[in-house]
Structures are given as C-alpha cells and as structure tokens.
Amino acid sequence: MRRIEAVLFASAAPVPREDLARAVGQGVSVDLLVEDLAADLEGRAFEIAQVAGGWMFRTRAVYAPAIRAVADVGDQLLDLSEFDVAVLAAIAYHQPITRDGLKDIFGKEISRDLIGRLHAHGLIGTGPRLPRRGAPYTFVTTEQFLVAFGLESLRDLPDREQLVDVGVGVA
C-alpha cells in the first residue's frame, strides 16, 4: 500500500492500474490496496481520485478556498465563464468537432481566443482532420479535461437529456 502511496504522491498525472501493478508486483490486487489507502486517508485533507484511466492524489474540494487564499496556484485555476464551459461541453459531447460545428451549435462564431484558452489550460487538443488539403482542424477533450472535471472517462459525462432538464442544454 505504501508503494502505491509513494507512486501517486510523486506523480503529477493519473497513474494507470498497470503501472501501479508494476510497483507492487504480480498477483497483488491493486484495487484492494487503493481501497485500503483511501480508507487510511479518510479525514485527511487529500484523497485518492480515480480519473482519466488511473488514480491520483487530490486535495479535497472543501479546502479549495484556503489553498487559493495562501498558495501560489497560478495557472492551475481554470476561471472559466459559463459560455466557456458550454463550449467545452459541446466539444466533449460532439468530438471531434470543428469551429464550424461549434458555430452551428451556438449560432455564432467561436473565437480563436476562447479555443486558445481552452487549449492553453490543456482541456482540449487537436483532433483528427479529414485526409484532404485544407481540411479544418477538429477539437477533442484531453486527459487534463477528465482530471479537471473528475471524470474517469467520457462515459462519465452526464446524460445530455439530464443537462437539458436542468437548463444546461448541449445541442
């Protein structure tokens, strides 16, 4: 269990099960060790989160205001507007999608600046292009998107009809 703790502590990205298995050896249940470690951390300021195909340490959300008040978190803060999140959601649900595809959804041009900010935060990346000259770029979400929103995979996105029911429609 402490080997898993050390690996997760040292890693800035989620660590997949296969990598943790190499740290503890064959025949050992990584899932049980992670469960034991999570129980051991109960009541602490950080937890183990299963995101983006692996596990990582994260500070519990309740401590976010204290961290922002004191620590230099710099570019880790997303500071996304409601519209930014809507564009990000559209990319997540429709990926790969072009800027024209986003324009069709929102009825207006999506600025290169917004796309650039989402890309700079590591939330989106460039997706596949059609194999023809001049084909437009497409956008897809990244592992950092999954980490930022606490998702194991895109299958964990809320059902689109549920979003519409609460007034956050994603066409």
SS3 63: helix
- The tokens describing 165, both together, are 């029911």
* Cα angle 49, 95, 83; round to 5: 80
Closest CA to 59 of 40, 77, 46, 73: 46
- Whether 90 and 102 have beta carbons less than 8 Å apart is answered as yes
pLDDT single digits (tens) 26-83:
788 888 888 898 998 888 888 888 888 888 888 877 877 777 777 655 555 567 888 8
- Whether 152 and 50 have beta carbons less than 8 Å apart is answered as yes
- Whether 143 and 152 have beta carbons less than 8 Å apart is answered as no
On average, the pLDDT of the chain sits at 83
Provide the whole-model pTM. Answer: 0.61
Closest CA to 49 of 40, 36, 38: 38
Alpha-carbon distance of 56 to 15, in angstroms, equals 6
Which domains can be identified in the chain, with CATH numbers? 2-65 (1.10.10.10), 78-165 (1.10.10.10)
